Structure 1
């Protein structure tokens, strides 16, 4: 079992109009400095002074963005910088505590109504496959989305009866509100997954829109 485009589109509430406009890295794109200037509304000098190099890519520290969110006079720019930070720290967390250039490129194209779901799925599959081949490593991807998908399909793991999907319901909000279980050991997880039976698996996410057909 793997997450599908339809499932992640539902979790992220991507409008139908976005489905056929998939994000891809353009051949001619603004420089990292120029993209950050557009998003933050700050000067070239301010941006250049804060760019670092981490994991072989250009990044900006979360601390610099956090300070900007707290002090920026433009409310719209505050929201944009906060949203960029979520993309860089949670959805594409390449360098811990930093937002990298690739995340800013995708974020810069969202106003063109492209869908970011395939990019999130591709990053997840690539990272999991790399860790599996190496037998170690740090997962680079949106762990929160993968966790919601995981709990939605394996009833024996979560024992949560999700509500039927409706306009104001969000599986993401529900799992955030649920008490965290940090006391489950790695051995217990291995035993739990090893002993899963067919009846323990929910093959269709209970919050998925009923008329969706899984074909990709």
Structure 2
């Protein structure tokens, strides 16, 4: 899904920092775990085994490092895994331009164990929206495509 920057900017204007929800007139809306699970088609993943990240400073991995690793690895399956991790990281947990969050490697490893990433994705969405609103500007660091898909599902 292509991100409509104008729609996204308009959507961010309705983010209520105090209540961590979108406020449209007298209606409050917020993405829920169940909605994100449906949008990500995670219904087969065990809901009681949710992935959560440890708080604190996280490190970044450059996209170039992941790209070099995926091209140079001798094991084809590992190459595909690193490539999938790279794409997943860039879409779901972008850290900064050209970098991905190191914590996503742990999340990606746990997906095979049927652990749902949805709560972590939802937290990233709220944290990023709160940071943008608090600063009055800034770049949304989260899965904009997923947030817009959720928005489109309601309107």
Q: TM-score, normalised by structure 1?
A: 0.53
**Where do 1:87-102 residues align within 5 Å?**
87-102=88-103
- Cα deviation for residue 17 of structure 1 reads 4.0
Q: Distance between the aligned counterparts of 2:147 and 2:129, measured in 1?
A: 11
Q: Which runs of 5+ in 2 are unaligned?
A: 1-28
The equivalent position to 1:6 in structure 2, one of 34, 39, 50, is 34
**Where do 1:78-89 residues align within 5 Å?**
78-89=79-90
Q: Distance between the aligned counterparts of 1:113 and 1:138, measured in 2?
A: 31
Contact 2:53 2:120 in 1 (8 A): no
- Aligned equivalent of 1:106: 107
Secondary structure at 1:20 match in 2: strand
- RMSD between superposed Cα atoms in Å: 1.9
Q: Distance between the aligned counterparts of 1:128 and 1:106, measured in 2?
A: 22
Cα deviations across residues 39-63 of structure 1 (Å, max 9, x unaligned)?
Answer: xxxxxxxxxxxxxxxxx64322211
- Cα deviation for residue 106 of structure 1 reads 1.5
- Cα deviation for residue 147 of structure 1 reads 1.4
Q: Which runs of 5+ in 1 are unaligned?
A: 27-55, 155-216
**Bigger radius of gyration:** 1
Cα deviations across residues 91-113 of structure 1 (Å, max 9, x unaligned)?
Answer: 11112211222112222222221
Residues 149 and 25 of structure 1, relative CA distance in 2, 3 Å threshold: closer
- Aligned equivalent of 1:72: 73
Runs of 4+ in 1 over 6 A off after TM superposition: none
Q: Distance between the aligned counterparts of 1:126 and 1:11, measured in 2?
A: 20
Contact 1:89 1:96 in 2 (8 A): no
- Aligned equivalent of 2:131: 130
Q: Distance between the aligned counterparts of 1:122 and 1:58, measured in 2?
A: 18
Secondary structure at 1:21 match in 2: strand
What is the number of residues matched between the two proteins?
A: 125
Q: Distance between the aligned counterparts of 2:64 and 2:103, measured in 1?
A: 19
Q: Distance between the aligned counterparts of 2:53 and 2:129, measured in 1?
A: 22
Q: Does 1:63 align with 2:91?
A: no
- Aligned equivalent of 1:16: 44
Deviates more, 1:116-125 or 1:100-109: 100-109
Q: Distance between the aligned counterparts of 2:154 and 2:52, measured in 1?
A: 30
- Aligned equivalent of 1:148: 149
Residues 90 and 17 of structure 1, relative CA distance in 2, 3 Å threshold: closer
